[in-house]
């Protein structure tokens, strides 16, 4: 301090000049460091940036968001798609059961999910992982999800695992911004436009059911499934979480999930748990069913059973 | 301090002058100061650049995956919460036990809390996939899942702790600058609040992890006392090193008293930290079963994967060596021995309550798949950048506070 004061008699001191030079260089370096952000286009407009939470949007809000998302999909992927906001039906709670005696581990379900839900092609992402398990054990320590040989192999059985649509979902509990919640038909959904990408839900899920968009998903225009829903299979933004939604864009309109339709052995049973006449209710009443990790208290809506 | 004349309270004029003088202090100094700040700026900008790439290209530039979805950022976040909470180990002797020597230098601990919280917030932002949506996390403006989500509690306690410490430090420095005696009513209640609050930040951060039933490695009540114990190791250790530096590079009078007090605290906490780790290790390995797989991976490797084994044994070696040095009479007579011990335990806890705590919870995954994780260059760069930012904040804070506290800078001797 005293240094600079004595020299200041001659107008601008050497020290001040050096400081100004340093500050200029610093500002230039600062601009250079953050330069990559100029290519970052997370949102296209102020409306987009300020988009409200799913539950706070009116019908008109939602309509304009859906139209905007369709335009964005056209711009980013070159595909014409139609995106709907498909609501849950009254008197319906979905349940899923899987016959482990019938499953042969062909992974056709995982592949159907990959296509139906417009997953990133390069990473071969899917909401379903099929574990090859050892006969006589349901310990996943002896399981293997990366098997690469003809199926079914001797001494093995196969266990596809996807979101269990828990009645007490740990993922919903931990989300700091309520970007994920359980709908009245039992499906746990994500508002991809509200998620902040903290991945706390992914840490909380005991079933490895959640997937993060580590980059922008890439799908060729001609392969994009154009029948889309806001809470389901529309193109997900980079940096947000996604998960199995029981194909709600299909099932809420009376169709079956893509994974069920793809299954060659009929191992999958899907239906309305509130309908006493449904096949799923028959399975629950007549087969010896179990749920995964019952001890962690998640209360899944996804059941497994053996036929024999 | 220089002038005690009764002046009318003119904060509207005095406070801008205080800010101006602070700005002058922050930007003016010796050649060493400029070199230090330039180095920190350069590192911070490298980190900023890496983060800008991460935001633009996606978190694919990190080595995190759907299997190991938290890594180096959350590890450092956890460590920094501990450092922030540990700073309270100066406040307790100063205000609860009326240690006058400690009271004179306690501002160094309170400012550390501020810098550490800045780093915590930096690591949280770095870990977000969508930092542009941070406003969704603001109470009343976004949708704040309080009280159910532990992360919302963490937002409250961390920002609260930051505000409390900003108030205490800002008030004390400003009144000293005015040459007035601080009014106890304006800061003592906040000091006591900050003590309780310090415990809360690390408790809530432990709850963040140990409330998850799907991750048995974290799902243990002992995680909370383990967090607190290691916070009370890193806090005093970092402050001892800071005091040793400050008394060499400034004219701020720091006797050996505060260092000896912090040393006494360390003698207990460094052992407590090792004891609690031992209790955890016993429970894991004596019980056995599939819930031990994470600990097995961490300490001894699992199915041919040994990524974390050298890390954790380095941590245990450093922490044990530090404990031996801290307990030895040599540390009392020769302070450099204590300095070495502090450095060792800072690194040891950084591993043990960082990568050693976060990564094993994900390896093996909840479905027992083993996908190893080692941080990418981008992650190391972002980490270094946030460290540099924190050290800049701390350096500037000390650079302003110390001349005011020594009486070299007051409202009467400058613009």
> Would you list the domain boundaries of chain A?
94-305
Q: How far is B412 from chain A (nearest CA, A)?
A: 15
Give pLDDT, residue A16.
84
Give pLDDT, residue B8.
63
The sign one gets for the Cα dihedral B198, B201, B205, B206 is positive
The count of domains in chain B is 1
User: What would the pLDDT profile of B354-379 be if each residue is shown by its tens digit?
Assistant: 999 999 999 999 999 999 999 999 99
Task: Answer with the residue of higher pLDDT: A11 or A238.
Answer: A238
Return the number of other C-beta atoms located less than 10 Å from residue B401's C-beta: 24
pLDDT surpasses 80 at A1: no
Q: Which domain holds residue B80?
A: 39-221+247-410
Residues 6 or more apart whose CB falls under 8 angstroms from that of A300 comprise: A164, A165, A166, A167, A291, A292
Q: How far is B364 from chain A (nearest CA, A)?
A: 9
Give pLDDT, residue A23.
87
Q: Which of B28, B128, B151 sits opposite A1 (nearest CB)?
A: B28
Which is nearest to A238 in space by CA: B58, B51, B65, B70?
B58
Residues 6 or more apart whose CB falls under 8 angstroms from that of B98 comprise: none
Q: Which of A196, A198, A208 sits opposite B367 (nearest CB)?
A: A208
pLDDT confidence band for A4 (50 / 70 / 90): very low
Q: Which of B129, B136, B367 sits opposite A131 (nearest CB)?
A: B367
Would you call B388 helix, strand, or coil by DSSP?
Answer: helix
CB-CB contact of B214 with A168 (8 Å): no
- Chain B hits for A204, CB-CB cut-off 8 Å, are 212, 214
User: What would the pLDDT profile of B264-274 be if each residue is shown by its tens digit?
Assistant: 999 999 999 99
Distance, in Å, from the CA atom of A226 to the CA atom of B45, rounded to the nearest integer, reads 43
pLDDT confidence band for B6 (50 / 70 / 90): low
Between positions 15 and 44 of B, the ones with CB within 8 A of A are 24, 27-28, 34, 38, 41-42
Average pLDDT rounded to a whole number, residues A123-131: 97
Average pLDDT rounded to a whole number, residues A213-242: 97
Distance, in Å, from the CA atom of B118 to the CA atom of B390, rounded to the nearest integer, reads 6
- Chain A hits for B208, CB-CB cut-off 8 Å, are 200
Between positions 141 and 160 of B, the ones with CB within 8 A of A are 142-145, 148-152, 155
Distance, in Å, from the CA atom of B408 to the CA atom of B412, rounded to the nearest integer, reads 10
Would you call B318 helix, strand, or coil by DSSP?
Answer: helix
Task: Return the DSSP state at B179.
Answer: T
Which is nearest to A200 in space by CA: B337, B338, B145?
B145
pLDDT confidence band for A49 (50 / 70 / 90): confident
User: What would the pLDDT profile of B304-360 be if each residue is shown by its tens digit?
Assistant: 999 999 999 999 999 999 999 999 999 999 999 999 999 999 999 999 999 999 999
Q: What is the dihedral of CA A159, A160, A162, A164, to 10 degrees?
A: -40
pLDDT surpasses 60 at B224: yes
CB-CB contact of B130 with A151 (8 Å): no
Give pLDDT, residue B308.
96
Give which of B129, B142, B205 to mutate to test A binding, by max A Cβ within 10 Å.
B129
- Chain B hits for A126, CB-CB cut-off 8 Å, are none
ipTM rounded to 2 decimals: 0.94
Residue B198 has which token pair? 């310090």
Task: Please write down the long-range contacts of A168-173, taking CB distance under 8 Å and 24 or more positions apart.
Answer: A168/A297, A168/A298, A168/A299, A169/A298, A170/A201, A170/A204, A170/A205, A170/A206, A170/A296, A170/A298, A170/B212, A170/B213, A170/B214, A171/A201, A171/A202, A171/A204, A171/A205, A171/A209, A171/A210, A171/A243, A172/A201, A173/A204, A173/B148, A173/B149
pLDDT surpasses 70 at A10: no
Average pLDDT rounded to a whole number, residues B230-249: 96
Kindly state whether residue B273 falls inside one of the protein's structural domains.
yes
Query: Do A29 and B42 count as a contact with CB atoms less than 8 A apart?
Result: yes
Class of domain A94-305: alpha beta
pLDDT confidence band for A8 (50 / 70 / 90): very low
User: What would the pLDDT profile of B87-109 be if each residue is shown by its tens digit?
Assistant: 999 999 999 999 999 999 999 99
CB-CB contact of A301 with A186 (8 Å): yes
Which is nearest to B339 in space by CA: B260, B254, B413, B240?
B240
Distance, in Å, from the CA atom of B242 to the CA atom of B239, rounded to the nearest integer, reads 5
Query: Do A196 and B137 count as a contact with CB atoms less than 8 A apart?
Result: yes
Any idea what the Cα angle at residue A124 is, between residues A122 and A128, rounded to 5°? 160
- Chain A hits for B120, CB-CB cut-off 8 Å, are none
User: What would the pLDDT profile of B60-91 be if each residue is shown by its tens digit?
Assistant: 999 999 999 999 999 999 999 999 999 999 99
Q: What is the mean pLDDT of chain B?
A: 95
Q: How far is A129 from chain B (nearest CA, A)?
A: 10
Average pLDDT rounded to a whole number, residues A60-78: 96
Contact pairs from chain A to chain B, CB under 8 Å: 177
Q: What is the mean pLDDT of chain A?
A: 94
For the ranges A36-45, A67-76, A95-104, B236-245, which has the lowest average pLDDT?
A: A36-45
pLDDT confidence band for A48 (50 / 70 / 90): confident
Query: Do A215 and B57 count as a contact with CB atoms less than 8 A apart?
Result: yes
* Rounded percentage of chain B residues whose pLDDT exceeds 90: 96
Kindly state whether residue B24 falls inside one of the protein's structural domains.
no
User: What would the pLDDT profile of B286-304 be if each residue is shown by its tens digit?
Assistant: 999 889 999 999 999 999 9
Give pLDDT, residue A3.
46
pLDDT confidence band for B7 (50 / 70 / 90): low
Give pLDDT, residue A11.
63
For the ranges A33-42, A63-72, B220-229, which has the lowest average pLDDT?
A: A33-42
Query: Do B368 and A141 count as a contact with CB atoms less than 8 A apart?
Result: yes
Q: Is the peptide bond before A98 cis (omega within 30 degrees of 0)?
A: no
- Chain B hits for A37, CB-CB cut-off 8 Å, are 52, 55-56
């Amino acid at each position: 301090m005293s240094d600079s004061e004595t020299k200041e008699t001659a107008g601008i001191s050497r020290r001040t000049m050096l400081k100004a030079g340093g500050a200029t260089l610093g500002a230039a370096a600062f601009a250079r460091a953050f330069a990559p952000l100029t290519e970052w286009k997370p949102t296209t407009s102020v409306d987009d940036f300020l988009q409200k939470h799913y539950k706070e949007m009116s019908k008109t809000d939602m309509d304009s968001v859906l139209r905007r998302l369709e335009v964005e999909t056209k711009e980013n992927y070159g595909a014409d798609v139609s995106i709907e906001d498909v609501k849950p039906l009254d008197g319906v709670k979905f349940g899923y059961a899987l016959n482990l005696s019938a499953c042969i581990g062909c992974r056709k379900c995982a592949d159907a999910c990959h296509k139906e839900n417009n997953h990133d092609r390069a990473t071969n992402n899917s909401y379903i992982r099929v574990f090859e398990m050892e006969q006589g054990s349901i310990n996943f320590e002896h399981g293997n999800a990366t098997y690469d040989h003809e199926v079914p192999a001797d001494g093995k059985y196969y266990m596809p695992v996807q979101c269990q649509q828990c009645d007490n979902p740990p993922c919903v509990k931990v989300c700091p911004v309520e970007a994920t919640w359980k709908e009245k038909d039992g499906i746990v959904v994500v508002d991809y436009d509200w998620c902040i990408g903290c991945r706390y839900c992914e840490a909380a899920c005991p079933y490895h059911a959640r997937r993060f968009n580590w980059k922008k998903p890439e799908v060729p225009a001609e392969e994009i499934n154009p029948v889309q829903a806001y809470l389901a299979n529309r193109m997900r933004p980079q940096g947000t979480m996604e998960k199995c939604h029981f194909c709600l864009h299909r099932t809420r309109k009376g169709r079956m999930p893509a994974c069920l339709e793809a299954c060659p052995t009929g191992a999958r049973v899907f239906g309305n748990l509130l309908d006493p006449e449904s096949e799923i209710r028959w399975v629950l009443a007549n087969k010896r069913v179990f749920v995964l990790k019952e001890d962690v208290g998640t209360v899944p809506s996804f059941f497994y059973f053996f036929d024999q | 301090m220089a002038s005690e004349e009764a002046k009318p309270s003119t904060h509207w004029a005095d406070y801008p002058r205080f800010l101006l003088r602070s700005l002058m202090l922050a930007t003016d100094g010796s050649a060493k100061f400029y070199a230090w700040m330039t180095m920190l700026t350069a590192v911070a900008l490298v980190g900023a650049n890496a983060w800008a790439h991460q935001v633009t290209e996606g978190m694919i530039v990190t080595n995190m995956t759907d299997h190991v979805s938290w890594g180096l950022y959350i590890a450092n976040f956890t460590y920094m919460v501990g450092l922030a909470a540990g700073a309270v180990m100066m406040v307790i002797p100063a205000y609860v036990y009326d240690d006058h020597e400690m009271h004179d230098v306690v501002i160094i601990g309170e400012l550390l809390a501020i810098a550490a919280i800045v780093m915590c917030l930096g690591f949280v932002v770095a870990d977000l996939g969508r930092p542009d949506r941070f406003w969704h996390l603001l109470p009343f403006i976004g949708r704040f899942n309080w009280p159910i989500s532990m992360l919302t509690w963490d937002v409250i306690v961390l920002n609260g702790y930051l505000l409390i410490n900003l108030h205490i430090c800002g008030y004390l420095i400003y009144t000293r600058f005015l040459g007035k005696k601080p009014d106890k009513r304006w800061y003592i209640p906040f000091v006591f609040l900050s003590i309780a609050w310090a415990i809360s930040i690390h408790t809530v951060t432990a709850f963040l992890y140990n409330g998850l039933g799907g991750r048995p490695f974290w799902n243990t009540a002992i995680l909370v006392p383990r967090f607190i114990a290691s916070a009370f190791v890193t806090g005093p250790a970092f402050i001892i090193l800071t005091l040793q530096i400050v008394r060499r590079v400034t004219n701020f009078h720091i006797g050996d008293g505060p260092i000896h007090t912090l040393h006494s605290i360390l003698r207990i906490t460094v052992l407590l930290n090792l004891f609690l780790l031992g209790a955890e290790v016993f429970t894991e390995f004596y019980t056995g079963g599939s819930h031990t797989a994470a600990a097995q991976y961490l300490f001894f490797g699992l199915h041919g994967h040994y990524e974390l084994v050298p890390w954790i044994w380095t941590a245990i070696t450093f922490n044990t060596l530090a404990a031996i040095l801290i307990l030895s009479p040599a540390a009392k007579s020769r302070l450099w021995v204590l300095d070495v011990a502090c450095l060792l335990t800072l690194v040891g806890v950084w591993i043990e309550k960082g990568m050693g705590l976060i990564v094993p919870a994900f390896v093996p995954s909840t479905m027992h798949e083993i996908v190893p994780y080692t941080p990418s260059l981008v992650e190391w760069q972002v980490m270094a950048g946030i460290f540099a930012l924190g050290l800049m904040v701390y350096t500037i804070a000390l650079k302003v506070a110390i001349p005011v506290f020594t009486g070299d800078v007051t409202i009467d001797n400058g613009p």
